[in-house]
Amino acid sequence: MQRKRLIAANWKMHILPAGSCTPDSVYRTRANVDVWVFPSYMDLHSTQYHGLVTGAQCGRAEDDGAFTGDISMQMIADQRYHAVICGHSERRRYHNETDEMIARQVAAALRTGLIPILCAGETADQHDRGEAEDIVRKQISSVRMDPAVIIAYEPVWAIGTGKTPNPSDVEKMHLFIRSLLPAPEKMRIIYGGSVNGKNAASFFAQPNIDGALVGGSSLKPDEFRSIVEAA
């Protein structure tokens, strides 16, 4: 089955890249490649207003309540955003998000009509101990899976480090992940971790890598353009 490629720009806690909201922005989605942007909450409205397909970087599972500083999936959905990232390793690490919390976030995202991008991936130590598949299996199987979910395999040791796994090893992991999914041929599995304009094509040459979740390189419009063109 032909799965449409997705290039997702995770801008983390950075300001909008120059030119992102102009009519000729490289961050606009294309007929043959989905391009979605994930700005900080403060910029969600600007990117959406300017016609970029916009999602949130995280959201809370409860619809409302006394949770100072948090934003619910329901609130994100009410503003007609498209997607939400769930379980990014930086949320797991800095906000102590557990598999159980992430499972509830994915369920809330689905219930409110958002497309969840579920992140999974092993740390450097887990990788060295040969535990990558076990960790990823646990992270994915703790979520009640739905064909609408997109999986992002992001090995933690590759994020922001310039180190990348071999594309054929990523392909193997994506095949393993696919074997855990309810609609394996239909669901998109994207890769994240130090993707740039030079290495993107080598990932996209693998049949089970359906796109990329891009951090640092998504802040540089020319670099990002090369990634989208490679897709």
By annotation, the residues acting in catalysis are 88, 154
Q: How far apart are CA 139 and CA 121, in angstroms?
A: 8
**Alpha helices by DSSP H, the chain:** 44-49, 73-78, 89-94, 99-111, 124-128, 132-141, 167-178, 200-204, 221-230
Report angle CA 134, 139, 140 to the nearest 5 degrees.
Answer: 100
How many CB atoms within 10 Å of residue 41? Answer: 14
The stretch among 23-31, 66-74, 135-143, 215-223 that binds ligand 13P (CB under 6 A) is 215-223
Instruction: Single out the residue of 34, 97, 122, 154 in contact with ligand 13P (rule: CB under 6 A).
Output: 154
Q: How far apart are CA 192 and CA 87, in angstroms?
A: 13
Q: How many residues bind ligand 13P (CB under 6 A)?
A: 14
Using CB atoms within 10 Å of the CB of residue 109, give its burial: 0 to 12 exposed, 13 to 18 middle, 19+ buried. buried
- The residue at minimum Cβ distance from ligand 13P is 215
Instruction: Single out the residue of 5, 157, 215, 224 in contact with ligand 13P (rule: CB under 6 A).
Output: 215
The answer to the question of residue 10 lying near ligand 13P (CB under 6 A) is yes
165 alpha-carbon distance from chain centroid: 17
The stretch among 73-81, 128-136, 165-173, 186-194 that binds ligand 13P (CB under 6 A) is 186-194
Tokens read off for 1 = 């089955």
The answer to the question of residue 159 lying near ligand 13P (CB under 6 A) is yes
3-state helix, strand, coil in the chain (%, to 5): 35, 15, 45
The answer to the question of residue 118 lying near ligand 13P (CB under 6 A) is no
Instruction: Single out the residue of 17, 121, 192, 211 in contact with ligand 13P (rule: CB under 6 A).
Output: 192
For residue 195, what is the DSSP state?
-
The stretch among 26-34, 108-116, 168-176, 188-196 that binds ligand 13P (CB under 6 A) is 188-196
**By C-beta, is 93 or 111 nearer to ligand 13P?**
93
**By C-beta, is 189 or 213 nearer to ligand 13P?**
213
For residue 19, what is the DSSP state?
T
Q: How far is the CB of 160 from ligand 13P (least distance, A)?
A: 4
Q: How far apart are CA 198 and CA 5, in angstroms?
A: 18
The answer to the question of residue 213 lying near ligand 13P (CB under 6 A) is yes
Instruction: Single out the residue of 19, 51, 147, 160 in contact with ligand 13P (rule: CB under 6 A).
Output: 160
The answer to the question of residue 9 lying near ligand 13P (CB under 6 A) is no
The answer to the question of residue 194 lying near ligand 13P (CB under 6 A) is yes
Positions touching ligand 13P (CB under 6 A) are: 10, 88, 154, 159-160, 192-195, 213-217
